[in-house]
Amino acid sequence: MSALAERLSSRNAAVLLARNTVVSCLVFAVGLALLWALVEFGGMNKLVAAALGFLASNSIHYAFGRAWIYRGTERGLASGYGYFLINAGIGLVITIALFAAFLRWTSMHYLVARIVVSVFAGLTMFLLNAMLNFKRL
Query: How many residues are listed for the chain in this entry?
Result: 137
Classify residue 99 as exposed, middle or buried by CB count within 10 Å of its CB (0-12, 13-18, 19+): buried
Express each pLDDT in 66-111 by its tens digit: 999 999 899 999 999 999 989 998 988 999 999 999 999 999 999 9
Residue 44 has pLDDT above 70, yes or no: yes
92 or 132, greater pLDDT: 132
Give the other-Cβ count within 10 Å of 11's Cβ.
Answer: 7
| 126, 23 contact by CB (below 8 A) | no
CB atoms under 10 Å from CB of 24, counted, come to 25
